[in-house]
Structure 1
Amino acid sequence: MGKKLPLMLHTSKTSNLIGMNKKKKFSSYMPPAHPAASYNTAPRLYINRRMADKIEKSKKRKKNADGSSRPSKKVAIEDDRNVKISLKDGDEWSPVIASTPGLAMPASISLQPFTKHRKNAPQRPGRSGAIATTEVLLHSSEHPKLDYTAREEEEGGSDALLKHYVGVYDPKTGKLEVMEARKMVVRGSVRAHQATEAEFEKQTVRELRNDLGETFGTKKARKAIASVTENAISANRGSRLIADGAKPAKLDAAKSAIIASMAEATSGMSSRKDLEEQADAAKPRPKANLSAKDIKDVYTVDSLIGSDIFKSVPVLEWEQAVKAKKNITTNSRYVSARIVSAATAGVNKLRVLRYLLLLLDLHIASRPMRGGRMLPKREEMKTKLGDNIPQSVIEDIRRKYSDAGVMSKFKSDLLITHVCALACLVDNYEVDLYDLQLDLKLETKDMTQYFKEIGARVVGLPEARRKALDLDKATAAQRRTAKLKLPLDFPRVPFGRRG
């Protein structure tokens, strides 16, 4: 690029800096001039700078509220001084103001300068001197893995006419020496890996063909080559190669630098398993005991209802009606078809069915609204759920499945998934979806998805069940059965594919 010179340039910050900024003619902020620069005498400009305002001696101090007053103090003020400014003409070497955006450059790195003539250099450079006629590039390869390059990047931009100056002020003599400087930006790049002839000879015919296809192939061909490359970069493939006796590939300096920075940046990131667990925990469904060995321990009464609330659910009226063989009318087709069998099985299953009816009545009594459902008022809710239901049970349901009387989409889904889990307890973990689907007014696809969210497998209606219900095959094909068994089969968390 130009002649290599032994001069080392460093950027630094000085506390005694005075900066000026003015486009086209005169301006800006800079560190001290380079010691190797030679200064010529230039016209001098005298500026009378006022160091401080005069203090009014006659101004009285106000006393404090307690009557005490602060003692008067005289402030020592520096006398006014004329600052003498001298502008030095630029020569071949000038100071450099370098910035490192997005880069932490070690202080021990030294940059070597290279110069070349500018393409459109002015015929009369004026006081700028070599800055206007020559271009400087600073470069360093001292770092083991990175190259640092500094360039002047203002040409053609919005700051093309902005000049930068450094000034050194001597408080003893009152002199300010100003000299024009170069504004440069330091960039860092990973040192490119140069392939040797031996590595080039190791390329197979397929690799050479892929290189040719990436360069001159069609869009479809390039996409196919990229797909093969993405599939080849996987941990499983590397494990297979090592198992077959192949040695793992060694990383060069550039790859090591990239991997080291990636490891540091991703050290606090969650793994895929952690993300899946967090996504599962945030879903609107009852908490399942994943370590259970028996299906009865996956969803229990304590986890779905709560032991205290469960004991408060009244079922005496239903027990007496079943013994007297009286009809029991409810708002649920699912519950009405199972009251007798639940009462025969025992009081606990009857309480589960009664609590399930409370959830269905709450869902039916709520009014659809934008973004969820609106619950009725407390007095109306007690009438809808039943006058014999304890207030503690009603408030527990209201608090669990609504926020200030509003059932959001999340809370509504949480209620329906609890209904599905309770139905599994009532029907011995094999539920016909048809009755619940009618009660909740859901499509078959939506009802199926709710049961899948609790880990159940949804299959077609069994043949024995079809014959017991006396259904034809066309009607039975539209009905589904949910089976809850170990291991639970939860829907997988979807992750977006690459575009």
Structure 2
Amino acid sequence: MSTFSKKRKRAESVSNAGVSLQLSSHEIPESGAAVPVLVSTPGVDLPSSTSFKVYGKKRKNGGVEPGKTMVAGETPTVEFFSSFESETNTPGSRYVVALHDRSTKTLRLFTPTSDGAAVPTPVHFLKHTVKSLKSLPSSLPSVLPYFEARNTLGETFGTKKAKAQIKQRERQKVDVDAVKGVVSHIVDAIDKGAEGLTTKEEAQEVANSTRLVPPFSDTATDPADVYPLHNIIPEVEWKALGPSISPVIALGTGSRAKERQAIFPFKHSSWVNDHIARIVQTEGRGGIEGKHGKKNLRILYYISALFLFRNIMQRGGIQGLEKEAIAEKLEGLPGVVLDGLLSRFTETTRASTKHVLTTAMLTKLHTYMFALCLRVDNYAADSTVIAKDLSLGVAQTNQLFRSLGCKLSALSDRERARLGLPDSAKDTKRAVLNAPVVFPKPKAGKRK
């Protein structure tokens, strides 16, 4: 009971003291008045006489930035300091710092905001530095003796391979002190040697010029302008093809498919024959009497000539064929068109006049043909049918389309409606050319 009475009397004495409560924002007063903060000194006992100061980063418009305060103090032998609040990543305490002023009998609660809200106060974790040790050099061990000892062990007890590696590293090591006086000369020599190197833009131009594709525009925003028609079929050859399709137009729109196919150089291409039938069945501008339909008939005639030319040259093999033999098998093809095919897609040796369809020329012929197929198919070609006509694998055909900048993808409902394709074609991937054209990046070689 006596203990209870003592505690009760003490509580009464505190309550009779009449302490008033006052809220204050957590700011550093310009007058330098004391500001209470929470600090932690892990593993160190601070002398009670140690004095501290609170420092803060000032704003441009005055005052102190919130979360930008630190605490620092010192004794005759040790310095104590903390990091800025925002750099400590501490969540703060669950208490509000208070300062009791005995002279005025007031208790001031300090909070980090100016509205007086009781929010957690951050804790400053103090680090310490012994003053007498600051001038001593770092005692961290150097890495160099470790490598020297390791090399010594390797040379003494290592295998032949390990010893060879150590010697190679020693030969490749650069003596920094030895080259200090010639560094400027080395830099000048590097700059001079780099003058002849190609820039990124020049390298891209060289890469574009060596592509086995028709001349193209990499800035075109319309697929029709990526591979201009007369970059594939020169204008003089284009005009010469006009009389070749006149018999096709003369047959009209009747059901005379075999007679039409007989007019074309190559009669066994499903892709070409299907597109001829489509033009005949279409009315208006895209039909056989329309300007667009007649234009596509010329392109189909040239594609058919490429089919036959390819077959003839492949039968000739690496020995090649004379121009007269090729012209005999391409009977009916205008002479200027034949000359263009020979100049673009064949090679001849110095000692011979025979024309050879090399591997590079065959790739070039395929890409020219596919660029024309894309134009007829509104830049969304079915590579499967073309691969079958050419007796090529679908993967190889798709790779040739990719070299033209195409992407293999299934068409949306809107795109199929634009091309007049049935719903059954929704799962068929097509080679789609977009603009501006983007060519595939070369694959990196395997790491050795």
More helix by share: 2
Q: TM-score scaled to structure 2, two decimals?
A: 0.50
Q: TM-score scaled to structure 1, two decimals?
A: 0.45
Flag the structure with larger Rg: 2
